[in-house]
């Protein structure tokens, strides 16, 4: 009998360690970035574009990358919304009675969700050549928009699935058209969940390198139109870290902090939104 | 009359939105085909020149001489994925069991944000962390301890960074799967006098075995395609690595690194698109098998 109890104790102990290690890992990742980068973060980093000689360690900042990333992700989210919103509404209202079709669509979305971003990058690049556009903000928006679409649909579908059936059915029974049910009942019920899904997709879009590596190019200027090239924050981290000059490398750590803070803000707002509206849905 | 117009307008709007929705559904469902077709058409050139087995298993990589053997990249990818997955698996399994069966609701409420944040951190940040912490740790401590020499930037470093990135992903799926085990089974086992761990070992793990394998399958496909974090720490040296402490060059890193120069040589361009196609096929196949298994398991109860 005693070895069973011992086994239970040992396993319990190992489980405790692995759960604790999750917390430790998160702290380790965040702390190592912050400790390394905080001394080099300054107002100049956030508020200026690179000046001449920036990549040799002279003055300037990564404003071009911050603005570029925000433009890119916002554009991508808007583009993706045009696909994901009708799709998730369709799965939960129009095709509500055709379970098999809906399950097939969900399966396709799961497959799309699993395709690595570098493949989307390569696809975006070939698409760019077919459409005859140069590496630009527009090409980046299209690529990232496609890449975050399945993430967004999954988030929206998840909340729409949980809307009570009787609510939808009573709306139908008083004579609403499908469109009215979709926009006046479903959408209104699930707005917090939709915002969460959008934020999650935004976070995924802003942090990804592999999909924009081929499509956005890189420039030190602020983009003024969508046909221009643009810098992005993760790419700025990556390029600066590849430099042999220590000052530039240090700025990569500072840029990494900026990116991490953006992601943390998104994470926390998602948490707050879903906590606040949890009871309503 | 006015009422009639009102109805007609509603009907028209409904139809318009209906068509918009149909178009979008069609586009999204056709997207995987678009992607496959465009990558395939791009890699047609190289597939016509070099036979598939030679592409996959030759280890001669001389793009300028027109020789493309993907074996060094495939083997690097396999090793990095294998290390990543085998380091992740025990941690995820133990944590998932603990969070589902031992921990209180409060603990899960505390851990969920942590898992979410881990999942949300961009891969480039994991790459920076890898360069700061993992690479020196592998080069200075881990490799000498095991009697190897290592520059630090190595397959091992790539695998370790990858394993951390996989944790939130696999853990979430595992928790989901353990939740689908019926409570009657647990109660029956417990009422027969089995201890909690015995119940988990003989009932839960056996019942959700296929689900666990699928979770790792999904993790595997995620690992196989991870690009930038691995690229930053893996060393990127072409060649079949002698041991795990030598630099490697996984497939995604190959695509990402050679983008600039590929356009001038059509064959090279085609080879990289073939690499992307290969990557996608592997990932999609693993994904499909794992998803199907999970769907089957969920429908059975």
Same structural domain, A36 and A170: no
Name chain B contacts of A28, Cβ cutoff 8 Å.
129, 133
Please state the φ and ψ torsions of residue A273, each to the nearest 5 degrees: -60, -50
Tens digits of residue pLDDT in A61-94: 788 889 999 999 999 999 999 889 989 998 888 8
**Interchain contact, A116 vs B122, CB within 8 Å:** no
**Interchain contact, B276 vs A119, CB within 8 Å:** yes
Tell me B99's DSSP state.
Answer: I
Higher pLDDT, A227 or A56: A227
Tens digits of residue pLDDT in A230-266: 888 999 898 888 888 888 888 889 999 999 999 999 9
Mean pLDDT of all residues in chain A? Answer: 87
A50 located within any domain: no
Query: Which sign, positive or negative, has the C-alpha torsion B69, B72, B73, B75?
Result: positive
Tens digits of residue pLDDT in B185-203: 888 888 888 888 888 888 8
CATH of the domain at A173: 1.10.3720.10
Name chain B contacts of A263, Cβ cutoff 8 Å.
120-122, 125
| Separation CA B91–CA A14 (nearest Å) | 9
CB atoms closer than 10 angstroms to residue B2: 5
Q: Give the confidence band of A280 by pLDDT, cuts at 50, 70, 90.
A: very low
Name chain B contacts of A4, Cβ cutoff 8 Å.
195, 197-198
Tens digits of residue pLDDT in B14-48: 888 888 888 888 888 899 999 999 999 988 888 88
| Separation CA A176–CA B14 (nearest Å) | 10
Same structural domain, A151 and A254: yes
Tens digits of residue pLDDT in B112-142: 889 989 999 999 999 999 999 999 998 888 8
Burial of B167 (0-12, 13-18, 19+ CB in 10 A): buried
**Interchain contact, A115 vs B225, CB within 8 Å:** yes
H or E element: which one contains B68?
strand B67-68
Residue B64 has pLDDT above 80, yes or no: no
A48 located within any domain: no
A23 located within any domain: yes
In this prediction, residue A279 carries a pLDDT of 53
H or E element: which one contains A132?
none
Same structural domain, A109 and A34: no
In this prediction, residue B211 carries a pLDDT of 86
Any idea which residue has 């409060």 for tokens?
B106
Same structural domain, A201 and A124: yes
Same structural domain, A34 and A71: no
A70 located within any domain: yes
**Interchain contact, A123 vs B255, CB within 8 Å:** no
A252 located within any domain: yes
Same structural domain, A12 and A103: no
**Nearest-CA neighbor of A80 among A113, A128, A118?**
A113
Same structural domain, A189 and A128: yes
Q: Are A212 and A232 in contact (CB under 8 A)?
A: yes
Residue A178 has pLDDT above 90, yes or no: no
Residue A177 has pLDDT above 90, yes or no: no
A18 located within any domain: yes
A194 located within any domain: yes
Chain B interface disruption, residue of A4, A7, A17, A19, most B CBs within 10 A: A19
Q: Which domain holds residue A107?
A: 60-276
Same structural domain, A184 and A264: yes
Q: Are A18 and B98 in contact (CB under 8 A)?
A: yes
Same structural domain, A141 and A12: no
Lowest mean pLDDT among A109-118, A232-241, B61-70: B61-70
Nearest to A111 among B14, B197, B287 (CB): B287
Any idea which residue has 């319990």 for tokens?
A12
Q: Is the ipTM of this complex over 0.85?
A: yes
| Separation CA B116–CA B111 (nearest Å) | 9
Radius of gyration in angstroms for the set of CA atoms belonging to chain A, rounded to a whole number:
23
A47 located within any domain: no
In this prediction, residue A281 carries a pLDDT of 43
Same structural domain, A7 and A122: no
Same structural domain, A30 and A84: no
Tens digits of residue pLDDT in B149-185: 788 889 999 999 999 999 999 999 999 888 888 888 8
Which stretches of B8-99 are assigned E, i.e. beta strand? 61-62, 67-68
**Interchain contact, A29 vs B291, CB within 8 Å:** no
In this prediction, residue A76 carries a pLDDT of 95
Same structural domain, A35 and A96: no
Name chain B contacts of A259, Cβ cutoff 8 Å.
122, 124-125
Per-range mean pLDDT, top range of A127-136, A144-153, B259-268: A144-153
In this prediction, residue B263 carries a pLDDT of 67
Mean pLDDT of all residues in chain B? Answer: 87
Q: Are A277 and A54 in contact (CB under 8 A)?
A: no
Q: Give the confidence band of A224 by pLDDT, cuts at 50, 70, 90.
A: confident
Name chain B contacts of A238, Cβ cutoff 8 Å.
124, 127, 228, 232
What domain count does chain A have? 2
Q: Name A84's Cβ contacts closer than 8 Å, sequence gap at least 6.
A: A149, A152, A153, A156, A197
């Amino acid at each position: 009998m005693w070895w069973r109890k011992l086994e239970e104790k040992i396993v319990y102990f190992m489980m405790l360690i692995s759960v604790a290690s999750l917390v430790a890992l998160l702290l380790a990742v965040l702390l190592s970035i912050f400790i390394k980068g905080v001394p080099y973060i300054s107002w100049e980093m956030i508020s200026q574009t690179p000046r001449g000689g920036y990549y040799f360690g002279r003055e300037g900042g990564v404003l071009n990358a911050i603005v570029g990333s925000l433009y890119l992700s916002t554009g991508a989210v808007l583009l993706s919304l045009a696909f994901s919103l009708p799709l998730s509404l369709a799965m939960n209202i129009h095709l509500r009675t055709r379970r098999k079709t809906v399950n097939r669509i969900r399966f396709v979305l799961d497959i799309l969700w699993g395709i690595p971003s570098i493949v989307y990058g390569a696809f975006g690049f070939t698409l760019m050549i077919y459409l005859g556009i140069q590496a630009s903000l527009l090409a980046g928006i299209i690529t990232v928009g496609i890449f975050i679409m399945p993430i967004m649909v999954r988030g929206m579908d998840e909340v729409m699935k949980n809307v009570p059936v009787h609510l939808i059915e009573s709306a139908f029974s008083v004579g609403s058209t499908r469109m009215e049910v979709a926009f006046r009942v479903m959408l209104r019920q699930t707005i917090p969940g939709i915002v969460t899904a959008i934020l999650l997709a935004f976070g995924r879009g802003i942090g990804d390198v592999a999909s924009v590596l081929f499509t956005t190019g890189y420039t030190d200027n602020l983009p003024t139109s969508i046909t221009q090239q643009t810098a992005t924050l993760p790419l700025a981290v990556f390029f600066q870290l590849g430099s042999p000059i220590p000052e530039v490398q240090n700025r990569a750590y500072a840029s990494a902090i900026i990116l991490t803070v953006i992601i943390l803000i998104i994470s926390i707002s998602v948490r707050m939104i879903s906590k606040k509206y949890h009871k309503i849905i | 009359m006015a009422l009639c117009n009102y109805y007609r307008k509603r009907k028209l709007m409904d139809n318009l939105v209906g068509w918009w929705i149909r178009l979008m559904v069609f586009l999204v469902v056709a997207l995987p085909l678009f992607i496959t077709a465009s990558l395939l058409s791009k890699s047609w050139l190289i597939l016509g020149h070099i036979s598939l087995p030679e592409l996959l298993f030759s280890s001669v990589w001389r793009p300028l001489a027109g020789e493309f053997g993907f074996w060094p990249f495939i083997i690097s990818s396999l090793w990095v994925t294998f290390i990543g997955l085998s380091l992740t698996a025990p941690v995820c399994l133990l944590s998932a069991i603990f969070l589902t069966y031992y921990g209180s609701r409060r603990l899960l409420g505390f851990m969920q944000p942590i898992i979410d944040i881990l999942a949300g951190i961009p891969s480039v940040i994991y790459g920076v962390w890898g360069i700061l912490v993992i690479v020196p740790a592998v080069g200075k401590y881990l490799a000498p301890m095991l009697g190897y020499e290592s520059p630090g930037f190595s397959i091992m470093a790539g695998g370790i960074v990858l394993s951390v990135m996989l944790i939130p992903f696999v853990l979430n799926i595992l928790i989901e799967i353990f939740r689908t085990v019926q409570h009657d089974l647990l109660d029956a086992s417990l009422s027969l006098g089995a201890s909690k761990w015995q119940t988990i070992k003989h009932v839960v793990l056996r019942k959700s075995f296929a689900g666990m394998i699928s979770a790792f399958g999904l993790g595997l496909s995620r690992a196989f395609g991870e690009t930038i974090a691995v690229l930053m720490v893996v060393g990127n040296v072409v060649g079949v690595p002698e041991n795990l402490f030598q630099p490697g060059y996984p497939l995604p890193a190959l695509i990402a690194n050679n983008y600039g120069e590929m356009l001038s040589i059509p064959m090279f361009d085609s080879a990289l698109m073939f690499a992307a196609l290969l990557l996608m096929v592997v990932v999609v196949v693993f994904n499909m098998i794992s998803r199907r298994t999970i769907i089957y398991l969920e429908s059975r109860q």
